[in-house]
Amino acid sequence: MLALTGYALLGGDEDASPTAGGGGASPSASSTNSAPTSPAPTYAAPEDWTEPERWVALPRGEDTDERGSEVGFPHTTEGAVAMAAAANTTSVEADRSTVDEQLRIYHSYLSTADRSDANVEAIEQNAQQTDKDLRKEMSVGAGQPLPSGAYLRSHVIGYKIVTESTDEVGVWLLSRVVQKTGETAKEISSYTRTLVGAAWEDGDWKLSGAVTDRVQQEAQAQDEPKMVAPGDAEFNAAGWTAIRDAS
């Protein structure tokens, strides 16, 4: 499975863990300096539901930009998490490629300091390679649309704050990644754990490479939260906060 998330634009840390019966997950190669990932043990969702101790309905952005991305988040810690979650919520389907998604994230969410002609070119080239790999995995020729009913989607389901201040927030994001190779294919799912740094810039939160670097330093002194889904008793022990859809 090829996991696509906004972390790759910053070269952040991401780990992936397949669910029972699912394939392994690897992050997209859409960064010029992506940190290596390490394999994680297989995770199977529990049969018995344990209610998460912490639930949050993250705020929505006030606007939608020209690329269809939610923007204009409040100047709060939860606003920063909401932006990071939006930047890590992606969908690759027949009419939307990895290139489309990575360029959308770049233009909608990346800090000005991290933007350059060289970076956007590298992001586009690496996303094109990811698209080729995805099509090969789904037995489709290069440049051809994905099979009918095929998709690769990532959705953030939980988070854990690492650092926070008025204008900077560091957070672990827990995402569920699902993939189907066609209409009748079985959906495969996995979980990813992503470390993200956000900075308040020009009236909104943005993904920041400089903040992410500082957050990585802080995170080294802490235990990495286990990749466990809401409903697992260890979700609470790991310190995750579950995300409830805002009304």
Nearest to 212 by CA among 104, 84, 122: 84
pLDDT at site 11: 54
Q: How many CB atoms lie within 10 A of CB 236?
A: 17
Coil, helix or strand at residue 210: helix
Domain that holds residue 137: 2-40+48-243
- What pLDDT score does 32 carry? 31
Q: What is the pLDDT of residue 245?
A: 74
The three-state DSSP-derived secondary structure of 104-161 is HHHHHHECHHHCCHHHHHHHHHHHHHHHHHHHHHCCCCCCCCCCCCCEEEEEEEEEEE
What pLDDT is recorded for position 154?
93
The predicted pLDDT at position 48 comes to: 80
Token pair belonging to 104 = 């959308």
User: Measured at the alpha carbon of residue 68, what is the angle toward residues 155 and 230, in degrees to the nearest 5?
Assistant: 15
pTM comes to 0.83
pLDDT at 145 (0 to 100): 86
Mean pLDDT by 10 residues, the chain (247 residues): 50 53 32 35 66 94 97 98 96 91 95 93 90 89 86 95 97 94 91 94 96 94 92 94 80
Domain count, the chain: 1
